[in-house]
Structure formats: C-alpha cells, structure tokens
Amino acid sequence: MFLLRIIVFLIISALLLILSYPLLIVFDISRGGNGFGICDDLVLCSIPITEGPRLLVLLISLFFILVLMLRGVMRLISSLNKEKSILL
C-alpha cells in the first residue's frame, strides 16, 4: 500500500512538471538561457514552425497517459481498501 502511495506521488509530481514545463522554458529564455535547448541564440534563433505544435501534442499526450495511470492506481488502491474491510 505504501508503494502505491509513492507511485501516486510520483505521478502527480510528473503531472505538475508537465504543466509547468512551458513556463520554465519562458522563464529560462527571459533569464538569457537557451530555453532548455530550443534556441541557442535568441538573435539568430530559427525555430521550425512545427516545433510548438509538436511540443504541445507531446505534452498533452503525456498528460493524458499520466492521468490514466493515476486513475488505474487509484482504482487499485480503492479495491485493496475494500478487500481489507471487515464489514463487507
């Protein structure tokens, strides 16, 4: 049961990281960084037009996969809790 709670914590942490990744890219660029490898030099930066939609699709698909995993783990925890009950 403890391992399942750790898995839930890790999934929720990954969801928060996925949701904050675009903000981290903008924050990194505003501090003079390269946006985690997206653009080496802001003045000479040439980002393909498909880079934004590709990143968006990747993050959304990862988000939904993690939500499905979280739902499955939560159902497993719920079923284990029902089996432990003396009243049933």
Q: Would you place residue 61 in the very low, low, confident or very high pLDDT band (cuts 50, 70, 90)?
A: very high
pLDDT tens-digit series, residues 7-45? 999 999 999 999 998 888 888 888 877 777 777 776 777
Q: How does 8-18 read in b/e, with b if 16+ C-beta sit within 10 Å?
A: eeebeebbeeb
- The separation between CA 67 and the C-alpha centre of its own chain, rounded to angstroms, equals 9
The overall average pLDDT reported for the chain is: 86
Domain ranges for the chain: 2-80
pLDDT at 87: 59
Q: CA-to-CA distance for 28 and 74, rounded, in angstroms? A: 35
Q: Classify burial at 57, counting beta carbons within 10 Å of its beta carbon; exposed 0-12, middle 13-18, buried 19 or more.
A: exposed
pLDDT score for 33? 78
Contact 28, 34 (CB under 8 A): yes
* Model pLDDT, residue 29: 81
Q: Is the pLDDT of residue 88 over 70?
A: no
Closest CA to 55 of 22, 12, 15, 17: 22
